Amino acid sequence: MLIYSAPLAKWKCVYKKCSAQCCVGGREVTAGDIKRINGVTNLKPEEFAVLSDEKGLFRLRNRKDGDGCYFLRDDYSCKLHGTEGKPLLCRMYPFKFDGIVYGDEIFLKVRAVEDCPGFGSGGQLEADFEARLEGLGNKFVRELKGYLKLKHEGLEVKKALEAL
């Protein structure tokens, strides 16, 4: 259920060098991401996410200073890195969200972030990188479908989030 651009052979995260360009506010998250973030941080979903969904997707809020993702620290590290709360699309980096194809099946489109300073540098990606990317993409689609089903059954956003 995943469509992506040409394979990527090398990538290294250099978030301090680029001031975490990838950690922008408004990152798309699933209802499952929101639930996991809540479980890790004990923050209320409305504190870190905009709870009006766009075809089943939500968005993370910006930091209070408006510069970057809500979970971005001043040293450009992520408060969620290394936890189960890290959103699926963040885990898929250096591929980024490029849209969804809705039809009989839902397909997630991602593409390599070629303007990332770490693109093409560092060591070879692990042999299982592509399989992990596919697994994360499939989980993203399952969570999206599960949430949309609950919404279709008439549950309001907060109730649907609680039902997951």
Residue 7: predicted pLDDT: 64
Q: Which residues of 144-161 are buried (b: 16+ CB within 10 A; e: fewer)?
A: bebbbebbeeeeebeebb
Chain mean pLDDT for the chain: 86
pLDDT tens-digit profile of 18-49? 888 888 888 899 999 999 999 999 999 999 99
Which residue's structure tokens are 């809705």?
102
13, pLDDT greater than 60: yes
107, pLDDT greater than 90: no
53, pLDDT greater than 90: no
d(CA 108, CA 59): 16
- Token pair in block for residue 71: 């979970």
Give the domain ranges of the chain: 2-158
Check residue 62 and report its DSSP letter. Answer: B
